[in-house]
Chain A
Amino acid sequence: MVKNQNFLTEVESKQLLEKAGIPVVEAKLARSKKEAISMSREMGFPVVLKISSPNVVHKSDSGGVELGLTNATQVGKAYGQIMSSVKQAYPEAQIDGVSIQTMAPPGVEVIVGMSKDPQFGPVLMFGLGGILVEVLKDVSFRIVPVTERDAHEMIKEIKGYPVLEGYRGQKPASIPALEKLIVKVSQFIENNPQIKELDLNPVFAYPDKAVAVDARIILE
């Protein structure tokens, strides 16, 4: 458990990102089971529920995420499950409720992150999601401000680049959309120097667009 008031929740992070023109899957905060169900109906099924707490960083590790919920009954049940497993894992966590968002169709999973280097300031990171980033450390970096050309090189630089071009029937990812997203993130960071870390993980890349499915911002 992390006690850190500088963590913005997913809902807050996504609101900031959306205002900056960075495509996100919209998330709303539901403070009760009832609210969760009505919001799900409004958004349209299937939906995803995630714990919303400033203290829980690794949401899925503590049973705080339920995916692919197709009706109100499932949403209600998932709400209860999330609450009980998170409370068990982090008895002292402050829980705001759950975030609700529509389940994004599968795309190529990538991550875009930002951290501050002591010598060069904000640095953006790009990589493919999952095992490629965690095990093979197949990531690339560029220093903010990142131009379109930098973003292009940054994407092409990773060894897993062919995965973005589509393989085994998987649809290719739009490179221009990823470039645009990276440049927008760079501008967002430039305009908000109080941001210490940012994590868009995952971003789903489709043939025509790229959307941040989860997002986290830490302030200085």
Chain B
Amino acid sequence: MFEEKLKEFEPIFYPKSIAVVGASAASTKAGSVWVSSLKSAGFPGIIYPVSSGGGRIADLEILPNLRLVPGEVDYVIVSVPRHSVLELLDDCVAKNVKAVQFFTAGFSEMDTQQGRKLEEQMLEKARQGNMRIIGPNCIGVYCPEHRIPFPMGTPGESGPVGFVSQSGGIATKLVTIGMTRHINYSKGVSFGNGIDLDASDFLQYLAADPKTKVIGAYLEGTRDGARLFSTMKQIAKTKPLVVWKGGRTEAGAQAAMSHTGSLVSSAAIWSSMLKQAGAITVRSLEELTDTLLVFQQLGHGQGTRAAIIGGLADGGGGNSVAAGDACMENGLKIPPLSFETKQKLIELVGEVGSILRNPVDVSQAQFRGLSTLFQAIDLIVRDAASDIVLLQEDVEILLPIYSRKGLEEINEFLIELARRQNKPIIVVLPPGSVEVERLEIEQILLAASIPVFCSMERAAEAIYKLDQYSRWQEAKQSQSQKT
């Protein structure tokens, strides 16, 4: 699907050379920041800083004009005032540049006639010169595999998640949250005003990209809704597409229906469109990253029957009740443990002070030692009534009882357990008074591919979305086999 995009976008995501226009010796300028970021990220191609002032930056000579670049230029990053963009585009055409990304802002987003006109002229020049434009008003491409960071950032680890974002701020947040939560990106792009290449183009590229297995998107609007809809419809069949629609667009009087005009709002149409296309809809940055995390770590929905271990130690009762509510309210099923498992747990931790149905509270194990706790968790994980296990690890309660060493052992056990059998284990680490230790544990678990969330609600919501998508995809496939 969309295989032609791979070759077309090669100079955008894997350029052999990048020229940064507007990179002066003054290190605070956006263009200069780009050069330093590319250099320190270890970009494997050639970097050409360009600025009329000349001089040096990051050990590179600044060329006074793009036309004076000695070699070929695949990709140009532009950070010059908008009055010189047209002239610059002529230079790009003369140099046979493949794609130009404009950081420069102040176009149609200002809602002025002048801004829109300038965009039209830019587009015309690009079309004539057989060149693609990214932006304007955007931070462009992120490709950790090819060591292209966002400005001022560093590339994180390479992975299976691709993203598109109209906003540069959100794109940057996706990368930084990804670094802390081990969401690893194949590539990402922020396309701003998207006067030439827009969401549909980049989504098509990510759909074709063999390195991308899951796609996330932050969108605010579109210039071609019909194309976006058909693109998403095609993509969702093969790759999960998680979409966060930000902001509202003009519903417009035309959209109103005769009798029920006021009922139609653009937000409702967007959400219907996404559902119809088979996209997974999210409503916030948290939800987007939660969902991308489970898709990356678990890949395919294993079912919604959850075994919940609400308490490993003191205070597990109330937590178990709350966890049960959180999971059921977010679509998961909580079947009781089998009779056999329950009997074994009674022998192991005793009935008094325990909840041995589901959610399960095995806090009584704290009086019998870690090996009892491990046996109890093992029994619950092996119980055939569940497809997944959610375990709440409340670090501020566990730390005084088991000490740091005990906590380490608990997490080593969880990692070993997750590896030795197939049922997914998801850990909830609620924030509290021992944040340093909690964050350390989060990093250890995430590094071992165990999804970590800070609340049961968020975990349940993300798991449910994964499962819904898998069911939808299966139904779609069996439907297409029939016809």
| Chain A residues proximal to chain B, CB less than 8 Å | 57, 111, 113-121, 123, 125, 127, 133-134, 137, 139-143, 149-150, 153, 197, 199, 201, 216, 218
Contacts and interface: CB of A to CB of B under 8 A. Distances in A.
B375 to A, nearest CB: 45
Given A149-B479, A153-B275, 12 more contacts: A114-B257, A117-B225, A119-B221, A119-B269, A120-B225, A120-B226, A120-B273, A125-B263, A134-B260, A141-B268, A141-B272, A197-B257
B447 interface: no
Nearest to B225: A119
The 5 closest A-B pairs by CB, nearest first: A119-B225, A120-B225, A141-B272, A115-B257, A113-B257
B47 to A, nearest CB: 39
A49 B368 CA distance: 84
Interface centre among B225, B255, B275, B276 (most CB of A within 10 A): B276
B239 to A, nearest CB: 20
B374 interface: no
A149 B478 CA distance: 13
B222 interface: yes
B269 A117 contact: yes
A198 to B, nearest CB: 9
Contacts of A125: 257, 260, 263-264
Nearest to A217: B258
Interface centre among B221, B263, B269, B272 (most CB of A within 10 A): B272
21 contacts: A57-B258, A113-B260, A115-B257, A115-B258, A115-B261, A118-B254, A118-B255, A119-B221, A119-B222, A119-B266, A119-B269, A120-B229, A120-B273, A121-B225, A123-B255, A127-B260, A127-B263, A137-B263, A142-B272, A143-B272, A153-B276
Contacts of A119: 221-222, 225, 249, 266, 269
A143 B273 contact: yes
A150 B233 CA distance: 12
A216 B249 contact: no
Nearest to A125: B257
Given A119-B249, A119-B266, A149-B479, A139 B260 contact: yes
B259 A199 contact: yes
B252 interface: yes
A123 B268 CA distance: 11
Nearest to B271: A141
A63 B136 CA distance: 58
A197 B258 contact: yes
Contacts of A137: 263
B276 A142 contact: yes
Interface string B246-258: 0001101011111
Contacts of B257: 113-115, 125, 197, 199
Nearest to A7: B258
Interface centre among A111, A113, A143, A149 (most CB of B within 10 A): A143
A141 B256 CA distance: 13
B200 to A, nearest CB: 12
A184 B263 CA distance: 23
B165 to A, nearest CB: 19
A123 B258 CA distance: 13
Contacts of B269: 117, 119-120, 123, 141, 143
Contacts of A116: 254-255
A113 B258 CA distance: 9
Nearest to B249: A119
Contacts of A123: 255, 264, 269, 272
Contacts of B264: 115, 117, 123, 125, 141
Interface centre among A116, A141, A150, A153 (most CB of B within 10 A): A141
B272 A118 contact: no
B255 A117 contact: yes
A214 to B, nearest CB: 10
Nearest to A137: B263
A142 B277 CA distance: 10
A134 B258 CA distance: 12
Contacts of A127: 260, 263
A53 to B, nearest CB: 15
A88 to B, nearest CB: 23
Contacts of B259: 111, 113, 199, 201
Contacts of B272: 123, 140-143
Nearest to A119: B225
A166 to B, nearest CB: 25
Contacts of B221: 119
Contacts of B226: 120-121
A62 to B, nearest CB: 15
A117 B263 contact: no
Given A121-B225, A121-B226, A139 B254 contact: no
B262 to A, nearest CB: 8
A197 B255 CA distance: 9
Nearest to B222: A119
B260 A111 contact: yes
Contact of A218 (B252, B258, B273): B258
Nearest to A57: B258
Contacts of A197: 257-258
A115 B256 contact: yes
Nearest to B226: A121
A199 B256 CA distance: 12
Contact of B263 (A133, A150, A153, A218): A133
Contacts of A218: 258
Interface centre among A111, A127, A139, A216 (most CB of B within 10 A): A139
A133 B258 contact: no
Contact of A117 (B260, B261, B266, B275): B266
A125 B255 CA distance: 12
